[in-house]
A = this chain, B = another copy of it.
Amino acid sequence: KSHNLLKERRQCKHVSHTDAAAVTQKRPNGVSSRAKVLTIDTMNPTVKKVEYAVRGPIVQRAVELERELSEGIKKPFAEVIKANIGDAHAMGQQPITFFRQVLALCSYPELLNDSTFPEDAKSRARRILQSCGGNSMGSYSASQGIDSVRQDVARYIERRDGGVPCDPDNIYLTTGASDGIVTMLKLLVCGEGATRTGVMISIPQYPLYSAALAELGAVQINYYLNEEKCWSMDISELQRALDEARRHCNPRALCIINPGNPTGQVQSRQCIEDVIRFAAKERLFLMADEVYQDNVYADGCQFHSFKKVLFEMGPEYSNTVELVSFHSTSKCYMGECGFRGGYMEIINMDNEVKAQLTKLVSVRLCPPVPGQALMDLVVNPPQPGEPSYENFIKERTATLSALAEKAKLTEQVLNTVQGISCNPVQGAMYSFPRITISAKAYCKQVHTPDMFYCMKMLEETGICLVPGSGFGQKDGTYHFRMTILPPTDKLKILLNKVKEFHQKFTQQYT
């Protein structure tokens, strides 16, 4: 399997310049028409394998429908609701006032003279600007990220993890978490045929992983989360996937998303320990995607960082297991997707490889400085006693409790629908309910039943979801991913429309 993958990966149709001359044709007006240099056959074939369902065909159709609506074309709905993407602000979530005040001060430092800005915002802004070349956000930062921000990130991690030490030198600021994840995969993926790098990813997964692996020509090794046990990880399933993969590739890395996307599960501490033990025993490089670390809603659930658990397992593990953890400004209570802020913490990386990593990130100069500034505020928010503290806490609490409420509401409503079964949304920003639909529900243009279902839902209700096939699911099962982000009253309407649609659909396609 990996043999063919690699062969395909390398080949592209070679049209020599002499061939091209031969396909030159003259059109009636005398203008030459001839084969382009870059065509679907001559382009890099690995790019063709890349899919990203979160912004795939269904979203393109949603955008078309929006355009048609704006042109006055009548539809069975008044608006398109984009419940496909984890974009909180687009759904009306408000930014944290303090963060935006500091960003404004950093953008236009004249405002440091403006008495309407609180002192703590000003002192944060001054600190950030002092760390920027020429005291300007317009300077490139160091490629690893602004020094003082990395120090603040390290302190945040130490506080979050109950004192487990964090070395700022192990922190790399990134352009969103996606950037860090792709960079790490670039370092890891090599070899060919039976030695081609394999990377274990959860099914269902966030399709950045499958897209990156496709582009890099790595072998994607699927391990299935257990839907019956609220999407938890099973070590026996990890073992099965790994043993099977070893027959045809070189598995080297294990990716976990916790809290999970699309599933929302918050893994137990025991489970995280088991995964670490598994990775140590089987010599796998761990990649822990923790961008939803503040999005934990369910009673009895708690976020445990892989870093903390690793260190609490003692030096046999904490000195040896190679781990990279990722965070972002896009989710949690911030929802600042557009700023592309993020960081990764590197644990136990070989020093020579670290030097290569540092060199690699230097080519792209630096992550966006506004995103770095924002990350600084996320890890160093207002403290008790500071002027902005109360309002900050109020805003953060309001956002997180609204999300918790909506998580519960979503689970409840969807579970009243015959043929929809929704696991508790323990964390993150999505529900990933299972839908019981006929395997015969498809048409000539749309081959997968869940895509057919979602397309119909879009056309009939204006609600844009992503079919489970975009994330991966067990054969013969169907799901969709829907965000919990619309405001509560809108979400209620949405959920009821989904309910109605499902009932109608299952009647129509039995």
Interfacial residues, chain A to chain B (CB-CB below 8 A) = 6, 10-12, 14, 16-17, 20, 29-34, 36-40, 42-48, 50-52, 54-56, 63, 85, 87-93, 95, 100-101, 103-105, 107-108, 111, 114, 116, 132-134, 136-143, 175-176, 178-179, 182, 186-192, 195, 207-208, 211-212, 215, 246, 250, 252-253, 282-285, 315-316, 319-320, 322, 334-340, 348-350, 352-353, 356, 359-360, 362-371
Interface contact B175-A37, CB-CB below 8 Å? no
Name A339's contact: one of B31, B45, B364, B370 (CB within 8 Å).
Answer: B370
Q: Among the listed B100, B353, B359, which residue makes an inter-chain contact with A107, where contact means beta carbons less than 8 Å apart?
A: B100
Contact present for A44 and B187 (CB under 8 Å): yes
Contact of A87 among B85, B140, B191, B352 (CB under 8 A): B140
When chains A and B are docked, how far (Å) is the Cα of A219 from the Cα of B366?
Answer: 26
B138 and A89 within 8 A (CB): yes
A37 to B179, CA, bound (A): 22
Question: In the complex this chain forms, how many copies of it are found?
Answer: 2
Across-interface contacts of A108 in B (CB, < 8 A): 100-101, 103-104
A55 touches B362 (CB 8 A): yes
Give the CA-CA distance A352 to B285 in the complex, in Å.
37
**Contact between B39 and A352, CB atoms less than 8 A apart:** yes
Q: Contacts of A90 on B, CB cut-off 8 Å? A: 133-134, 136, 139-140
Report whether B350 and A368 are in contact in the complex, using a CB–CB cutoff of 8 Å: no
Q: CA A6 – CA B285 in complex, angstroms?
A: 26
Tell me how far the C-beta of A294 lies from the nearest C-beta in chain B, rounded to whole angstroms.
16
Residue among A12, A187, A211, A315 with max Cβ neighbours from chain B (10 Å): A12
22 A–B pairs (Cβ distance < 8 Å), ordered by A: A11-B192, A12-B191, A31-B320, A34-B320, A37-B284, A38-B188, A42-B190, A42-B252, A50-B360, A55-B143, A55-B365, A89-B133, A89-B134, A90-B140, A91-B134, A111-B111, A138-B334, A175-B175, A178-B363, A178-B364, A182-B364, A338-B370
Per the bound structure, the CA–CA distance linking A114 and B116 in Å amounts to 10
Question: How many Å lie between the Cα of A85 and that of B352 in the bound state?
Answer: 25
Q: A17-B282, A175-B368, A207-B363 are in contact. List 6 more A-B contacts (CB 8 A).
A: A38-B252, A40-B352, A43-B190, A114-B116, A215-B363, A338-B369
Q: Contacts of A132 on B, CB cut-off 8 Å?
A: 89, 338
* A50 and B190 contacting across the interface, CB-CB below 8 Å: no
- A363, B108: Cα distance in complex, Å: 32
A17 to B111 CA separation, bound complex (whole angstroms): 58
Contact A45 B190 (CB under 8 A): yes
Q: Is the CB of A12 within 8 A of B352?
A: no
- Closest chain-B Cβ to A40's Cβ sits at a distance in Å of 4
A114 contact set on B, CB distance < 8 A: 114, 116
**A364 (CB) vs chain B CBs: closest residue:** B178
Cβ of A17: which chain B residues have Cβ within 8 Å of it? Answer: 246, 282-283
From B141, B356, B370, A47 is in contact (CB under 8 Å) with B356
Q: Give every chain B residue within 8 A of A51 (Cβ-Cβ).
A: 359
A37:B138 contact, CB within 8 angstroms: no
Chain B residues within 8 Å of A187, by CB: 38, 43-44, 47
Write the chain B residue with the least CB distance to A183: B47
A388 to chain B, nearest CB (A): 13
Distance between Cα atoms of A85 and B365 in the complex (Å): 10
Given A50-B359, A87-B140, A136-B338, CB of A43 within 8 Å of CB of B365? no
List, in ascending order, chain B residues with CB within 8 A of A189's CB: 44
CA distance A88 to B187 in the complex (A): 32
Please tell me if the beta carbons of B352 and A178 are within 8 angstroms of each other in the complex. no
Contacts of A282 in B (CB 8 A): 17
